[in-house]
Amino acid sequence: MKVLTPIKRVVDFTVKVRVKPDGSGVDLDNVKMSMNPFDEIAVEEAIRLRERGVATEIIAVSLGSAACQETLRTALAMGADRAILIETDTELEPLAVAKLLKQIVLKEEPRLVILGKQAIDDDSNQTGQMLAALLDWPQGTFASKLEVAGSKVTVTREIDGGLETLELPLPAIISTDLRLNEPRYTTLPNIIKAKKRPLDILKLADLQTDVTPRLKTLKVAPPQPRKPGIRVNSVEELVAKLRDEAKVI
Amino acid sequence: MPILVLAEHDNVALKPATQNTVTAARKISEKADGAEIHVLVMGHEARKIAEAAARIEGVAKVLLADAAQLGPQTAEVLAAQVLLQTGAQAYSHVLAPATTFGKNLLPRVAAQLDVQQISGIVEVISANTFVRPIYAGNALATIEAIAGTPIVLTVLATGFDAAPMVETGAPVESAKEIATDQAGVRLVGRQLASSDKIELTAARVVVSGGRGLQKAENFRLLEALAAKLNAAVGASRAAVDAGYVPNDYQVGQTGKIVAPELYIAVGISGAIQHLAGMRDSKVIVAINKDPDAPIFQIADYGLVGDALEILPQLTAQL
């Protein structure tokens, strides 16, 4: 069974971003970029499925600038067999990404698409669900456990109230949550091997998909700053402050 | 043109986030010539829920789609039902709470309507312009929907008060057509937290624990404090990963986002991802052994010390 793992190159999760003073966006100059952590979990899960004999081929796909090749090479170093980059400098909205991924799915015919539930830059949490809708496939979002048996996948999902387990017929879309697995580190030998694995670059124009933006960002601002806090020296002082000053208890 | 709000419920009761979502709808309505607000309740044997939804202040009409296949609340059939409603009546906006229910369902609806959804709005600027947090809440983006109808939005409850419930309910109408379930998805089961726990996203006070509690058993010290304060209990990702508490306790960028009157972070270092889930709390207290823990930068009151010693003292003094 072929598994497709869409991945996104995003600002590294350790970076505290700064908003540009002109309000036009976030300052990304010289900022460390990495594979979206949830997508890393997706790639790891695909590899584990192959180790279990369920997946036969893992294809990593990314959409963005030429720099995304770096992220795809990481996926290859983790163990993906092939990579595809849809190269574009246009900013793509989730619906556009879903439409482009649909083209790849129709071409490659994977039985499972596993991707992160959200990208930690945009925090939209939409692409997987949208792709499922466009393909008319079932969706198992926020997965913390996955089991493939025959033509079905059993997904345990993290929901607000706890956990939910669904059984979906394949083909299906899975979006990953934090506790699905812990991704492996890439070893140097695997990084070197990855250089020889195929990475195909497609031009956006070749996919004949309308990616015209439907949204416009008018401004980006930092959150309301908080008043600086104080240190208290005892439990008594804390209780007094909360009761008399903050008046929350 | 009316605005449609998708109600969230568990087949027993309406979820409070539905009320916050109605407030967002009302704010849009104010900027859209007083457009009517309709609430769609989809479920099985859900009439009581529809009647509750009808009593949310500001609601003009409730549509009830009641059928066995809608009971499990699976996205595929619910999305199909929403599409039947939007096919039968033009709506200017479709809203859902930004809970795991709404996050799972609404993008599927948006794609089927061929519109670009805006996720997690915290403010309404105009009928087509909204504010939403990005980069784990380290930035707030003002977004204008420039193409596509209806405008599809998920609503972060922390940005809007819960619309109150009123005496007399709006009319409840049965959906003219019910979606058939074609997806073949089976709900195997759910493992849910006990319903008598105070809901994290609606609590006035939240007491949250992190790795600093060291052991699962120590969470009972936190629960004792929470009981005294009538608070909900939350946790950092680290505490959940370590198995101290189940996943539904997690507060953070990808867990629950809360903004209570008082948030007490105990043994939580204050990673960016945790802050994303609680930075809008009115008053933040941090208790941590490490004086350099990042959480102290956001706390209004910081107490350096051993959580395991401080917790019982704090509980006793309240």
| DSSP annotation string for A30-44 | T--EEE-HHHHHHHH
- Rounded to an integer, the average pLDDT of B29-36 is 96
For residue B188, the chain A residues in CB contact (below 8 A) are 154, 165-167
Q: For A42-52, write each residue's pLDDT tens digit.
A: 999 999 999 99
Same domain, B23 and B164: yes
**Residues B171-196, mean pLDDT to the nearest whole number:** 93
Residue B179, in any domain of the structure = no
In a domain, B102, yes or no: yes
Domain count for chain B, please give it.
Answer: 2
> Can you tell me the mean pLDDT for A147-172?
97
**CATH code for the domain of B232:** 3.40.50.1220
Interface of B with A in 246-265 (CB under 8 A): 246-248, 253-254, 256, 261-262
Q: Mark out the alpha helices in chain B (DSSP H runs).
A: 17-30, 47-53, 75-88, 100-112, 219-229, 237-241, 272-275, 295-298, 307-317
- Report the pLDDT value the prediction gives residue B304, as an integer from 0 to 100: 97
pLDDT band at A80 (very low <50, low <70, confident <90, very high): very high
CB A93 within 8 A of CB A209: no
Q: A192-196, A218-222, B196-200, B212-216: lowest mean pLDDT where? A: B196-200
* pLDDT higher than threshold 90 for residue A245: yes
* pLDDT of res. B196: 74
Assigned token pair, B244 = 């101290």
pLDDT bracket for residue A186 (50, 70, 90) = very high
pLDDT of B197 reads 81
Classify residue B181: in a domain, yes or no. no
Query: End of a domain among B174, B189, B210?
Result: B174
- Cα B293 to Cα B267: distance, rounded to the nearest angstrom: 10
The one-letter code for the residue type at A122 is D
The pLDDT score that the predictor gives to residue B198 is: 87
Instruction: Say whether pLDDT at B195 is over 80.
Output: no
Task: Verify that B142 and B204 share a domain, yes or no.
Answer: no
CB contact under 8 A, A126 and B110: yes
**Average pLDDT across chain B, whole number:** 96
The domain that holds B137 is classified in CATH as: 3.40.50.620
Determine the average pLDDT of the residues in A72-93. 97
For B170, the domain range is: 3-174
Nearest alpha-carbon partner for A7 in A124, A123, A113, A95:
A113
Rounded CA separation B50/B289 (Å): 49
pLDDT of the residue at B193: 84
Residues B153 and B256 in one domain: no
Of B138, B301, B317, the CB nearest to A223: B138
Calculate the dihedral angle through the C-alpha atoms of B23, B24, B30, B34, rounding to the nearest 10 degrees.
-80
Cα separation values, A134 from A110, A114, A126, Å: 15, 16, 12
Same domain? B132 vs B24: yes
Q: Decide if B18 is inside a domain.
A: yes
Q: Is residue B277 part of a domain?
A: yes
Residue B185 lies in a domain: no
Report which residue type is found at B265.
Answer: A
Q: Residues B292, B146: one domain?
A: no
Query: A160 falls in which pLDDT band (50, 70, 90)?
Result: very high
CB contacts < 8 A, A to B, total: 254
Look at the block and give the residue holding tokens 């309308």.
A210
Mean pLDDT for B194-221 is 92
- Read off the pLDDT band of B194 (50, 70, 90): confident
Task: State the pLDDT confidence band at B43, using cuts at 50, 70 and 90.
Answer: very high
- Provide the residue ranges of all domains of chain A, joining segments of one domain with +: 2-222
Query: What is the pTM (predicted TM-score) of this model?
Result: 0.95
Q: Are residues B92 and B42 in the same domain?
A: yes
CB contact under 8 A, A130 and B201: no
Cα–chain-centroid distance for residue A211?
Answer: 20
Q: Are residues B153 and B272 in the same domain?
A: no
Q: Are residues B105 and B217 in the same domain?
A: no
The sheet carrying B37-43 orders its strands as B118-121, B151-155, B93-97, B3-6, B37-43, B61-66, B172-174
- Shared domain check, B146 and B295: no
Q: What is the structure's pLDDT at A44?
A: 98
The mean of the pLDDT values for chain A is 96
Task: Please return the burial class of B174, using the count of CB atoms within 10 Å of its CB with bins 0-12, 13-18 and 19+.
Answer: exposed
pLDDT digits (tens, 9 = 90+) for A167-184: 999 999 999 999 999 999
Closest partner residue to A221 (CB to CB) among B140, B144, B188 is B140
Residue B240 has pLDDT above 80, yes or no: yes
- Can you give the pLDDT at residue B249? 95
Residue pLDDT, tens place only, B118-171: 999 999 999 999 999 999 999 999 999 999 999 999 999 999 999 999 999 999
How many CA within 13 A on the CB side of residue B94? Answer: 28
Check pLDDT > 90 for residue B98.
yes
B110 touches chain A (CB under 8 A): yes
Among B137, B191, B303, the residue with its CB nearest the CB of A238 is: B303
Closest to A71 in 3D by CA, of A4, A12, A137: A12
Would you say how long chain A is, in residues? 249
Please list every residue in chain B whose beta carbon sits closer than 8 Å to the beta carbon of residue A215: 116, 118, 143-146
- C-beta atoms of A141 and B134 within 8 A: no
Give the percent of chain B with pLDDT over 90: 96
Residue B301: list chain A partners with CB under 8 A. 229-232, 238, 241-242, 246
Q: Which whole number is the average pLDDT over B101-125?
A: 98
Tell whether B156 is within 8 A of chain A (Cβ). Answer: no
**Chain-chain contact of B140 with A226 (C-beta, under 8 angstroms):** no
B118 plus B207 within the same structural domain: no
Whether residue B113 sits in one domain with residue B209:
no
Is CATH 3.40.50.620 what the domain over A2-222 is classified as, yes or no? yes
Please tell me whether residues B221 and B261 are part of one structural domain: yes
